Chains A and B, each alone.
Chain A
Amino acid sequence: MIRMKPVDVVIVGFGWTGAIMGIELADTGLNILALERGAYRDTSPDFSYPHNADELAYGIRGKLFQPLSRETVTIRHAVGDTAVPYRQYGSFLFGNNVGGAGIHWNGQHYRPSPEDLELHSHISKRYGAKFMPDDMQIQDYGLTYDELEPFLEQFEVLCGTSGRAGNINGEIKEGGNPFEGPRKRDYPTPPVADTYGARLFADAARALGMHPFPQPSDNASQPYTNPHGVRLGPCNLCGYCERFGCFMYSKASPQTTILPVLMRKPNFALRTHSHVTRINLDSTGKRATGVTYIDAQGRQVEQPADLVIVSAFQMHNVRLMLLSGIGTPYDPNTGKGVIGKNYAYQMMSSLGVFFDQDVAINPFIGAGSGGVQIVDDFNSDHFDHAAHGFVGGAYIYGGQTGGRPIQQLIVPPGTPGWGAAWKKAAKESYLHATTVATHGSVMSYRDRYLDLDPTYKDVFGQPLLRITFDWHDNEYKMSQFVTSRAQDIVRQMKPKATSLTLRKPGDHYDVRQYQTTHTTGGVIQGSSPETSALNRYQQSWDVHNVFVTGASAFPQNLGYNPTGLIGGLTYNSVKAIRENYLKNPGPLVQA
């Protein structure tokens, strides 16, 4: 075992939240070290044009994803089943390397609705506690929207988020999202221009009395310089965004917003190819002494540190806590324990919308998030759920992120999967089709959780994380309801044909189909150590010098993309570390 010189702060995993932690702590003068299992990556040369415009390498083979050959997860549908490995990418995509999934994300940058952060209290108050099924165990975050608002804004200002405000200090603004929580000011940059499919969608939604607005997007609409002095350039809607890095410096990522400044700080260091396997504890088990990692040569290295920030991907955070023995593992039989508790996902549906030959959709014109229109009327608690019998909702999305033909070419319903008829349909549909989709919440349940697999191991011989997950009735109902509203919009668009992908009661969670990478929970935050792993500052209740960032803190999943909330919670956490914890190390909230 090699023992390195102690540092003040060690950051485990160097994606979005690791980079935010690094830059926000750098001015304290502390010695900060980030450990990243992958390699260094930057816009040039790694995402440069034209090599980036390679659907096979990035979109299909997953050049930017974590190699599953080294580490994956196992999945089963129910407690008592035997889990099997997630051997090929499908349902969700793990990031890898510096920047993590923050490189190959879409840039959909949402805030939560105020009620999302106090969901259990809100639902109990509005509909009564009996409205929730017995096995649903949704919780509050331990902080409110108003408390988090400055930090949500701070992340938008970092990213140069493009969009149009719908609610500034309680005043509803035309053309924005009237259902959003009150903002202090408008988005940093105006919306990206709409693609044609999005325009057709928005016109139809407006005709039905709904409230379409441009998707808040971290694809910059114009040149933007953020508070660190780092600059982004305007998006050109290249169609190679999600699953790809950005060659235009347009998509916000750690590389395009933080790293050019952070990497030059003398008190900050990054060590790549360093795979953390344990958070080490002292003999009391109440204080972390640092971490152990495996370096590029396969050597075990001990890195002492006074403060440990766990900022890997959601599932990796949960696994590291379980491997390190911090907090009590969750037990689905008793409902006790917290690590691994409340794993949740999202439920999607989609409609292919096919027009006649005279409607030129040009689907290849697309950005990961910009240029798309959204209807948020049926998300969160934006409508009265009483008659519908479910909790949660979805936003409806109109437009497309690109027209990459291997993955994104769609054909009308009834078309065979191959042969002359498929080819003819592909030729006739490609330029004239767009997509409408719903992006929905998933609640947390007693029998949906994460633990360590008893059989399968990673390349280092450590147990893989095991997911126990399948859909519940609440989500089938939610998806059916919002999808019906999406179908109303699509009918109004007057297409020639429409296809539908909807998950119906009895359909199992299918890991072969990409749905979202928005997996949540397992190290949740809340107001009590009995029911959560972290306090409202994402500090471990059990080991006060361990903080855990990211979507692992979500007590249940919301209908929005998670990154905006993840960024806000990270800024909230790091402010508390800087202003309170460093002066007086100990629990920031008394249990």
Chain B
Amino acid sequence: MSNKPSSPSRRVFLRQSMAAVPAVGLLGTSALAQTQSAAPAAQAAYTPRYFTAPEWEFLQAAVDRLIPADEHGPGALEAGVPEFIDREMEGAYGHGGFWYMQGPFAPDTHPTLGYQLRFNPRELYRTAIAAIDDWCQKQHQSTFAALSPEERDGVLHALEKGDITLDQLPATSFFAQLLTNTKEGYFADPMYGGNKHMAAWKMIGFPGARADFADWVEQPGKVYPLGPVSIEGDKA
């Protein structure tokens, strides 16, 4: 076997990406402001393939509260989290391809024994969103998406704690799924549709796919100077 710690393509990739990274790029708030203004247009360009129009409105209104936009960094909307989730629904993951989905199902099992619903992610979103919008209509005479930000926070808190009873599934199961997928989309490589412009990585200081710190481990306690790169070679 050849001892090949670094392929030519990798070296070229790193050289190119490093050259373009400004030294101040680590937390760059100015770059952040740019992505915030550019984001709505990018988001509008995406047409969901799985979610229906009312579901899409719900999803955007929900993730906007889970990770809101503010001066610290991008919100889930501008980061493209809804697009990420919609794309995940169309793949093996959304169809439950990674989960054991044979019955019988015992949804009342102790929660420490894990997910026991018969819904794959696609079915879980569809069933839960309809049920939550129904609940909001009864309580607030409005869809979830049309509620104020404070009211949406209230509904999300109640789902998280299980204070809302939904017809076909435990509210806590859906909330956990939604929050998990939201954070995945926020922090995954941008090639999956979220983390647009690597803005979430820039916010926290994660260098993404750089994946080579042989030099910096010898510099304990020193701030790492380079901004992130993505798998497809974008730099920020």
Contacts and interface: CB of A to CB of B under 8 A. Distances in A.
Interface of A: 44, 48-56, 60-62, 67-69, 71-72, 75-77, 82, 84-90, 193-196, 199, 223, 230-240, 247-250, 256, 260, 359-360, 362, 364-365, 371, 403, 405-406, 409, 417-420, 422-424, 426-427, 430-431, 455-457, 508-512
Contacts of A51: 231
A233 B4 contact: yes
Contacts of B217: 193-195, 237, 365, 371
B5 A234 contact: yes
A233 B212 CA distance: 13
B5 A430 contact: no
B144 interface: no
> Which 10 pairs from chain A and chain B are nearest by CB?
A233-B5, A260-B1, A53-B209, A238-B211, A430-B204, A56-B188, A405-B187, A510-B112, A236-B214, A231-B3
B206 A237 contact: no
B68 A232 contact: no
Given A231-B3, A249-B4, A456 B102 contact: yes
A60 B184 contact: yes
Contacts of B67: 418-419, 422-423
A422 B160 CA distance: 15
A111 to B, nearest CB: 26
B73 A199 contact: no
A55 B188 contact: yes
Nearest to A193: B217
17 contacts: A54-B209, A60-B184, A61-B93, A84-B106, A84-B109, A85-B116, A88-B100, A195-B217, A231-B3, A360-B221, A364-B207, A364-B213, A405-B204, A420-B70, A423-B70, A426-B203, A512-B115
Contact of A69 (B101, B208, B210): B101
A403 B224 CA distance: 13
Contacts of A69: 96-101
B201 interface: yes
Contact of A55 (B101, B189, B216): B189
Nearest to B75: A423
Nearest to B93: A61
Contact of B115 (A53, A88, A426): A88
Contacts of B160: 417
A12 to B, nearest CB: 23
Given A90-B114, A418-B66, A196 B213 contact: no
B208 A53 contact: yes
A249 B19 CA distance: 27
A49 B73 contact: no
B68 A420 contact: yes
A67 to B, nearest CB: 7
Interface residues of B, number: 69
Given A50-B13, A50-B211, A249 B3 contact: yes
Contact of B73 (A50, A362, A423): A423
Nearest to A232: B3
A417 B157 CA distance: 10
Given A236-B213, A406-B188, 6 more contacts: A49-B7, A50-B233, A85-B102, A231-B2, A419-B153, A431-B223
Contacts of A456: 102
Given A240-B211, A417-B179, A49 B112 contact: no
A506 to B, nearest CB: 12
A244 B127 CA distance: 34
B205 interface: yes
A42 to B, nearest CB: 9
Contact of B5 (A85, A90, A236): A236
A249 B192 CA distance: 27
A509 B113 CA distance: 8
A431 B204 contact: yes
Contacts of B209: 50, 53-54
A260 B4 CA distance: 14
Contact of B224 (A62, A89, A362, A371): A362
A223 B3 contact: yes
A420 B214 CA distance: 35
Interface in B81-108: 93, 96-102, 104, 106
A38 B220 CA distance: 41
B98 A61 contact: yes
Contacts of B104: 455
B138 interface: no
B126 interface: no
A552 to B, nearest CB: 22
B102 A68 contact: no
Interface in B117-153: 153
A417 B176 CA distance: 10
B136 to A, nearest CB: 19
A68 B93 CA distance: 12
A370 to B, nearest CB: 9
B49 interface: no
B184 A431 contact: no
A61 B233 CA distance: 22
A193 B106 CA distance: 49
